Each structure stands twice: as structure tokens, then as C-alpha cells.
Amino acid sequence: MIKYDRLWSTLKEKGISQYRLIEDYGVDTAQLHRLRHNMVIKTITIDNLCRILDCRVEDIMEYIPDGKE
């Protein structure tokens, strides 16, 4: 399973709120909902978040093998 828990701590470290992602960077609220619930998202969304946050993919998401949560 891919989990996006790291995104929220990276946002905090960078001082960027979810509101700012939506208003200043045009991130769709539906995509944030999907991220909050560890649902499938497009790689373009990950690419945009890495650009916005100036971070690596590992700072946004992690792979956890099924059954090892």
C-alpha cells in the first residue's frame, strides 16, 4: 500500500498549508481528499507536489507491504 502520511509533515516543515496548496498552487481539493485517505492519485499530482515543496518523492509518500501497517 502507498501511504501519503509523510506529505503532511513535509507541508508543516515547509510552512505550507492545505489552503495555500489550493489557493496559490491550484491543487484540487479532490486530490487532497484522495491523499488524506491514501487513495490512488495520478503521478502528475506527485510531480506537482514535489515541485511545489521542493522535495523528493520519499518526502511525500512511502510503500508499506500489505499486512505490515
pLDDT in tens, 14-34: 999 999 999 999 999 999 999
Do the Cβ atoms of 9 and 16 come closer than 8 Å?
no
Do the Cβ atoms of 25 and 52 come closer than 8 Å?
yes
Q: What is the CATH number of the domain that holds 11?
A: 1.10.260.40
pLDDT at 67: 76
* Residue 44, in any domain of the structure: yes
Quote the domain boundaries for residue 39. 2-63
Domain count, the chain: 1
pTM of the predicted model, to two decimals? 0.86
* Residue 40, in any domain of the structure: yes
Over range 22-49, report the average pLDDT: 95
* Residue 68, in any domain of the structure: no
pLDDT at 69: 57
pLDDT at 66: 83
* Residue 69, in any domain of the structure: no
Task: Give residue 55's pLDDT band: very low, low, confident or very high (50, 70, 90).
Answer: very high
Q: How far apart are the first and last CA of the chain?
A: 9
